């Protein structure tokens, strides 16, 4: 469930597809249009977009000093939203949002009636645009997000039900969600509506054993992609491509069994899941084969095993947040092997990540403060173009006393291109493969009003595409999220 503008890097998530096939599709055009120059109008539109976003961001930041934002706290005092939150969809590392932070916490009385009968309804909409301010080019086939103005929008509805009312054990929940996405560039998104979750979550032994089974998107439950307290309020930051490369279902759901085991203090845990892999041909092929979101099988996709071990402390009064985790993934599907030039069995990778809260200026909003997040990823160098990456983010939740729900982040990512991928590209194409890429990002999520967030980010990427070598891109992303 992704309710903010896509956090993927400018590079296509389908970069693991046979690079020769990509070159065959693009090479004829480049040969026939070698002298084409970038259109002046594209640059002008980029400047206008920058001016609008810059003016808006300046106004937003100036508002932080002019008006205190306590709208969520006020909703908690005047409505039953904290009780509704107990029935939000479980199993996600980061929830969508609190019902206290929605356009209408009570939904005109509807949410209270649903709550009394065991139901919970939540949803939202988001829209955003990304544009390369340095080297836009509308005269060539689009190769990365923002090369020409790239628009995306999404809508999500989540419905849960307390299954203990119909004979299930205590703390059992039915989860169903539907999503609609639209993107002007299919290299970074999908188009259409689908079921994004259909599952049952159960908890036993005082929440120390948690299982979830059904159709899920495992990328929402592992690793900790989203920084911050909710998906809606998270500022954009560095994003790894490893989960996409290894076939973790990240767009459309897949049949999944998920189990988490905790120690009595709920700090140490082991999280294991077995799921159907995303198509080895990438998320576009997977989405086409699983158009409804409920297809049990996808051609070429076999079992994927995931396991994460970690230690996590949540922020509380006089207690700062800390999260250390490491995980391994093994995919039994056939993936293209750049060392031998054909698909071979399996794909694997592992990761280590740490998130730490350094300051805690507020004992009411205990999550407020400065954080650091560092992730290191490794993937099979013979199967994955991006074989290693490291991402570091410094961010602040509630950066101003008057703005406890805002977020600002500064991030850096370096991706290494595997030597085998480089050798293969240089051998079978006329292009020269890049050796790596650096991305620097700055982002601010502004809480406009209860249930409304406006996020602006700038990301400078030295190599926005895997090949051929491309000039650096400065990507401006601006988008809004509304939660109801």
CATH label of the domain that carries residue 438 = 2.40.160.180
Q: Is residue 133 situated within a structural domain?
A: yes
The pLDDT of residue 169 is 93
Is 437 within 8 Å of 469 (Cβ atoms)? no
- The mean pLDDT value of the chain amounts to 87
Q: Is residue 335 situated within a structural domain?
A: yes
Strands, E assignment, 314-368: 322-337, 342-357
The pLDDT of residue 13 is 41
Q: Is residue 103 situated within a structural domain?
A: yes
Q: What is the pLDDT of residues 94-107, one digit of tens each?
A: 888 899 999 999 99
Instruction: Name the nearest CA neighbour of 19 among 438, 302, 337.
Output: 337
Mean pLDDT computed over 330-352: 97
Q: Is residue 6 situated within a structural domain?
A: no
Instruction: Give 350's strand partners.
Output: 328, 378
Q: Is residue 253 situated within a structural domain?
A: yes
Q: What percent of the chain has pLDDT over 70?
A: 85
Q: Is residue 5 situated within a structural domain?
A: no
For residue 43, is pLDDT > 70? no
Q: What is the pLDDT of residues 411-441, one digit of tens each?
A: 999 999 999 999 999 898 888 888 999 999 9
Count of helices and strands (H, E) across the chain: 8, 16
For residue 214, the enclosing domain spans 19-483
Peptide bond into 123 cis (omega under 30): no
Nearby residues of 113 by Cβ (< 8 Å), 6 or more positions away:
none
For residue 48, is pLDDT > 70? no
Q: Is residue 7 situated within a structural domain?
A: no
- What the block records as the tokens of 332 is 């039994």
Please, which pLDDT band fits residue 358 given cuts at 50, 70 and 90? very high
Query: Which sign, positive or negative, has the C-alpha torsion 275, 281, 284, 288?
Result: negative
Distance between CA 477 and CA 149 in Å, rounded? 10
The domain tally of the chain equals 1
Nearby residues of 439 by Cβ (< 8 Å), 6 or more positions away:
9, 10, 238, 411, 412, 413, 414, 415, 459, 460, 461, 462
The pLDDT of residue 52 is 47
Q: Is residue 244 situated within a structural domain?
A: yes
Residue 215: strand, helix, or coil: strand
Is 288 within 8 Å of 299 (Cβ atoms)? no
Distance between CA 389 and CA 59 in Å, rounded? 36
Distance between CA 290 and CA 283 in Å, rounded? 10
Q: What is the pLDDT of residues 219-253, one digit of tens each?
A: 999 998 888 878 777 776 667 789 999 999 998 99
Torsions phi, psi for 118 (to 5 deg): 90, 5
Mean pLDDT computed over 251-276: 98
Q: What is the pLDDT of residues 395-410, one digit of tens each?
A: 999 999 999 999 999 9
Please, which pLDDT band fits residue 54 given cuts at 50, 70 and 90? low
Nearby residues of 419 by Cβ (< 8 Å), 6 or more positions away:
381
Phi-psi region of 207 (alpha: psi -120 to 50; beta: other; left: phi over 0): left
Distance between CA 92 and CA 258 in Å, rounded? 11
């Amino acid at each position: 469930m992704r309710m903010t503008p896509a956090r993927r890097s400018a590079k296509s998530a389908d970069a693991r597809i046979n690079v020769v096939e990509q070159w065959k599709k693009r090479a004829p055009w480049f040969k026939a249009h070698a002298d084409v120059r970038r259109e002046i109008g594209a640059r002008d539109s980029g400047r206008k977009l920058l001016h609008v976003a810059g003016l808006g961001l300046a106004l937003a930041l100036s508002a932080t000093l002019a008006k205190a934002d306590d709208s969520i706290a006020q909703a908690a005092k005047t409505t039953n939203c904290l009780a509704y939150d107990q029935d939000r969809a479980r199993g996600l590392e980061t929830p969508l949002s609190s019902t206290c932070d929605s356009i209408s916490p009570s939904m005109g009385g509807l949410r209270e009636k649903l709550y009394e009968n065991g139901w919970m309804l939540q949803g939202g909409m988001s829209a955003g645009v990304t544009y390369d301010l340095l080297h836009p080019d509308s005269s060539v086939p689009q190769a990365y997000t923002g090369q020409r103005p790239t628009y995306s929008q999404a809508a999500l509805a989540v419905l849960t039900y307390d299954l203990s009312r119909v004979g299930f054990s205590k703390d059992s929940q039915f989860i169903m969600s539907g999503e609609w996405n639209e993107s002007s560039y299919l290299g970074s998104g999908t188009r259409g509506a689908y079921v994004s979750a259909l599952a049952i979550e159960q908890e036993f032994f005082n929440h120390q054993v948690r299982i979830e089974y059904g159709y899920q998107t495992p990328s929402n439950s592992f690793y900790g992609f989203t920084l911050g307290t909710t998906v809606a309020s998270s500022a954009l930051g560095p994003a790894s491509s490893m989960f996409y490369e290894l076939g973790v279902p990240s767009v459309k759901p897949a049949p999944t069994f998920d189990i988490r085991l905790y120690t009595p203090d709920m700090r140490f845990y082991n999280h294991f899941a077995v799921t159907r892999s995303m198509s080895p041909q990438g998320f576009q092929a997977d989405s086409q084969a699983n158009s409804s979101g409920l297809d049990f099988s996808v051609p070429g996709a076999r079992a994927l095993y995931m396991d994460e071990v970690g230690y996590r402390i949540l922020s509380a009064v006089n207690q700062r947040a800390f999260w250390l985790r490491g995980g391994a993934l093994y995919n039994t599907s056939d993936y293209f092997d750049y060392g031998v030039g054909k698909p071979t069995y399996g794909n694997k990778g592992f990761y280590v990540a740490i998130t730490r809260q350094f300051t805690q200026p507020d004992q009411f909003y205990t999550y407020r403060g400065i954080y650091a997040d560092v992730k290191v990823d490794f993937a099979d160098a013979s199967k994955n173009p991006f074989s290693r990456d490291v991402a570091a983010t410094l961010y602040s939740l509630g950066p101003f006393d008057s703005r406890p729900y805002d977020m600002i982040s500064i991030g850096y990512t370096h991706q290494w291109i595997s030597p085998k991928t480089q050798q293969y590209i240089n051998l079978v194409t006329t292009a020269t493969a890049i050796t790596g890429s650096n991305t620097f990002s700055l982002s601010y999520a502004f809480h406009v009003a209860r249930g409304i967030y406006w996020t602006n980010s700038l990301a400078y990427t030295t190599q926005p595409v895997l090949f051929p070598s491309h000039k650096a891109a400065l990507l401006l992303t601006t988008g809004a999220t509304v939660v109801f």
